[in-house]
C-alpha cells in the first residue's frame, strides 16, 4: 500500500523543502530516476516531493556542464603544443581554487560563498556566445547582453533563478567588491595557465600570427620587444588585479620566477 503523503512540495518562490514539515527527521533519501521523484524517508512515513522537483535541476546540470566539452579558445588561437587542451569548465574550477587561496593569503574582505557561486556560473554565457578572447576583436558587452536572455531561459525554472540572475548581473556590472575580486581571479587564472604553457615549452611568441596584431594593445606589447608571451598576458589583464597588490613589480620579482616544470606537476 502507498505510504501516507504528509506533504508535497509545490514550485513557488521560497518553496521546496519549506513545504516539508519541520518535525520530519530524514534518515534516508530514495531517488526514483524514471519518474524523477524524490521520497524523503522519515521515521514513520514518506514525503513525496513531486515528479518535477528534480527534473529542472537535472536539466540545468546537463546543459551547464556542456562547458566540460567547450575548449578554451585562447589555447586554440595560440596553437598550444598540447594534446589535451583546457575546457571552459576546467578554467572555472581553476578560478574557484585560485579564489580560495588568494582570499586566504591576502585576507581580502569579500563574501566567499557568493564569490564562489559567481565564479561557478560566470561562464554560462559561453554556452550561447562561445569563448570570446581579445583576439576576436569583438565588443563582448553586446554579446553578454544577448546571452543574458539565454541564461534566464536556462535557470528560470529553478527556485534559485533570482539569485543566479542577480549574481550574473553583479559579475557583469563590476560594481561590488565580490564581483571585482571574481573578475580579478578570472583574468589571473588565464595568465597563470599561459605562464604554465610557456614554462613547459608549449607556447611562445613564435606562435604569433600576423592577423593577431590587429589587436592594437597586443601589437604595442609585441613591438616593444621587451616582453615574452607570459609577460604580455599578465600586463594585458593587469587592471583587473593590480589593486590586490598583484602588480607589475610583483610579477617580475615574485610570480614569474616561479617556474613550472614537469617535475613539480603531479
Please state the φ and ψ torsions of residue 248, each to the nearest 5 degrees. -60, -40
Confidence (pTM): 0.79
* Cα first-last separation, the chain: 55
What architecture is the 59-264 domain classified under in CATH? Orthogonal Bundle (1.10)
CA 152 to chain CA mean position, Å: 17
Grouping H, G, I as helix, E, B as strand and the rest as coil, residue 111 is coil
Task: List per-block mean pLDDT (blocks of 10 residues) for the chain, which spans 266 residues.
Answer: 38 43 44 44 46 83 97 96 96 98 95 98 95 87 87 96 97 97 98 97 97 96 98 98 97 95 65
The Cβ-side half-sphere exposure at 145, using a 13 Å CA radius, reads: 4
Question: Edge-to-edge strands of the sheet including 46-48?
Answer: 28-32, 37-41, 46-48
Q: Look at phi and psi of residue 131 and say left if phi exceeds 0, alpha if psi is from -120 to 50, else beta.
A: beta
For residues 256 and 56, what is the distance between their CA atoms, to the nearest angstrom? 45
Residue recorded with cell 536556462: 154
Q: Residue 207's pLDDT is what?
A: 97
Is the distance from CB of 137 to CB of 215 less than 8 angstroms? Answer: yes
For residues 199 and 259, what is the distance between their CA atoms, to the nearest angstrom? 6
Q: Residue 53's pLDDT is what?
A: 65
Residue recorded with cell 540572475: 165
The full set of domain ranges for the chain reads 1-53, 59-264
Amino acid at each position: 500500500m502507498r505510504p501516507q503523503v504528509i506533504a508535497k512540495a509545490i514550485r513557488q518562490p521560497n518553496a521546496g523543502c519549506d513545504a516539508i514539515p519541520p518535525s520530519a527527521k530524514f534518515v534516508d533519501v530514495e531517488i526514483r530516476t524514471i519518474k524523477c521523484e524524490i521520497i524523503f524517508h522519515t521515521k514513520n512515513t514518506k514525503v513525496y516531493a513531486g515528479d518535477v522537483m528534480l527534473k529542472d535541476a537535472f536539466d540545468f546540470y546537463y546543459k551547464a556542464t556542456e562547458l566540460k566539452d567547450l575548449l578554451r579558445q585562447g589555447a586554440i588561437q595560440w596553437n598550444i603544443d598540447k594534446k589535451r587542451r583546457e575546457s571552459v569548465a576546467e578554467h572555472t574550477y581553476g578560478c574557484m581554487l585560485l579564489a580560495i587561496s588568494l582570499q586566504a593569503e591576502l585576507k581580502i574582505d569579500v563574501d566567499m560563498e557568493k564569490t564562489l557561486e559567481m565564479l561557478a556560473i560566470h561562464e554560462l554565457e559561453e554556452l550561447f556566445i562561445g569563448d570570446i578572447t581579445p583576439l576576436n576583436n569583438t565588443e563582448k558587452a553586446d554579446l553578454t547582453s544577448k546571452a543574458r536572455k539565454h541564461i534566464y531561459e536556462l535557470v528560470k525554472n529553478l527556485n534559485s533563478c533570482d539569485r543566479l540572475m542577480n549574481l550574473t548581473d553583479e559579475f557583469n556590472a563590476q560594481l561590488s567588491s565580490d564581483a571585482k575580486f571574481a573578475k580579478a581571479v578570472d583574468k589571473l587564472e588565464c595568465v597563470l595557465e599561459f605562464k604554465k604553457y610557456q614554462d613547459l615549452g608549449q607556447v611562445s611568441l613564435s606562435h604569433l600570427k600576423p592577423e593577431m596584431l590587429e589587436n592594437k594593445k597586443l601589437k604595442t606589447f609585441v613591438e616593444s620587444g621587451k616582453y615574452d608571451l607570459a609577460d604580455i598576458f599578465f600586463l594585458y589583464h593587469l587592471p583587473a588585479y593590480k589593486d590586490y597588490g598583484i602588480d607589475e613589480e610583483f610579477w617580475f620579482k615574485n610570480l614569474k620566477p616561479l617556474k613550472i616544470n614537469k617535475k613539480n606537476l603531479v
